[in-house]
Amino acid sequence: METAFTKWQGCGNDFVLIDDRACRIVDPAALSVRMCDRHYGIGADGLILVLPSESADFRMRIFNGDGSEAEMCGNGIRCFARLVYDRGWTDKTAFTVETGAGILRPSLLLDDGQVRAVRVDMGEPILEAEEIPVTGFGRERIVNRPLTVLGQTYGATCVSMGNPHCVVFVEDLASLDLCRLGPAFERHAWFPRRVNTEFVTVLDRTHLRMRVWERGAGVTLACGTGACATLVAAVLNQKAERQADIELDGGVLHVEWAEDNHVYMTGAAEMVFQGQWIG
Ligand code: ZDP
């Protein structure tokens, strides 16, 4: 059987998107593992499905390359929003998308009828430990708490943007061994549902440099929910203003934690190619 797909990237975080409104895919987790493989498949950080919704204009599901399903995906929802608009599946430039992190609101920023960027109301950050979830702290906030990983102690700030994040501020990002540290954070006993980890250097109060190890995907060039979690963590630690540019390996995202307690993320999303998956 052939399945039509499009391939997208947002700041170099790349995804296969499939219109699954006819609900034909029986096992999307297994399909994600096969499609995301960079040698035997299409190659991507995740698989995203466009689905119908009873409570919103569309529903989005995101699977990591290891087959685990994530609640949300910040870079992915920008790609999703642009796909449904560019294909004419909606003519609204602002609409609602049901995700595992609730109903989120992307809006397309147009210039001469062309989509230039996508801004997403990512909802409110979740800061209570047991809701993130982080084990052992009840409903407390985890802001700059000591967390020992591979024999070294870091100051950890934990935030959920629907999916769990652990943000660590470091002096020297370049010398960090992400591939060794990332898996140890991801599987640490604090995190019963595993965790995405962001390592961040503050350049100034409106510019932060971030690198990420993603749960279920490993090192990626960018993480949208991670950029949002990073800004929230920086504000909680009094290191940044409530609006900043987050510089990722694959591009820049603008993030604002507004007075209404919602986090707004703005960035690009580009379709790279389209094809038919055989199998
Ligand atoms: O929470 C998770 O398991 C993430 N790996 C999901 C993907 C998050 C993403 N990088 C983002 O941009 O938010 C796509």
Q: List pLDDT tens digits, range 113-126.
A: 899 999 999 999 99
Q: Return the pLDDT at 238.
A: 98
User: What three-state secondary structure class fits 59?
Assistant: strand
Catalytic residues, by residue number, are 73, 223
Residue 160 near ligand 1, beta carbon < 6 Å: no
Of the pLDDT bands very low, low, confident and very high (cuts 50, 70, 90), residue 63 is: very high
Q: Return the pLDDT at 186.
A: 98
Residue 101 near ligand 1, beta carbon < 6 Å: no
Give the Å distance between the CA of 43 and the centre of ligand 1: 16
Determine the Cα–Cα distance for residues 228 and 209; give it in Å rounded to an integer: 13
> In 86-175, which ranges are E strands?
97-99, 102-111, 114-121, 145-149, 152-160, 164-169
Report whether pLDDT(83) > 80.
yes
Q: Return the pLDDT at 279.
A: 78
Residue 215 near ligand 1, beta carbon < 6 Å: yes
Determine the Cα–Cα distance for residues 85 and 108; give it in Å rounded to an integer: 8
Mean pLDDT of the chain: 97
User: Quick one: what percent of the chain has pLDDT higher than 90?
Assistant: 97
Pocket probe for ligand 1: among 223, 228, 230, the residue whose CB has the most ligand atoms within 8 Å is 223
The ligand 1 atom at the shortest distance from the C-alpha of residue 217 is 5
Query: Higher-confidence residue: 113 or 5?
Result: 5
Report whether pLDDT(23) > 90.
no
**Residues 220-246: b if buried by 16+ CB within 10 A, e if exposed:** bbbbbbbbbbbbbbbbbbebbeeebbb
Give the Å distance between the CA of 160 and the centre of ligand 1: 11
Report whether pLDDT(151) > 90.
yes
Residue 32 near ligand 1, beta carbon < 6 Å: no
Determine the Cα–Cα distance for residues 236 and 259; give it in Å rounded to an integer: 14
Report whether pLDDT(201) > 90.
yes
Residue 41 near ligand 1, beta carbon < 6 Å: no
| Greatest pairwise CA separation for the chain in angstroms | 54
Q: Return the pLDDT at 1.
A: 79
Residue 31 host element (H or E) = helix 28-36
Mean pLDDT in residue range 128-149 = 98
Of the pLDDT bands very low, low, confident and very high (cuts 50, 70, 90), residue 22 is: confident
Give the Å distance between the CA of 50 and the centre of ligand 1: 16
Give the Å distance between the CA of 177 and the centre of ligand 1: 20
Give the Å distance between the CA of 75 and the centre of ligand 1: 8
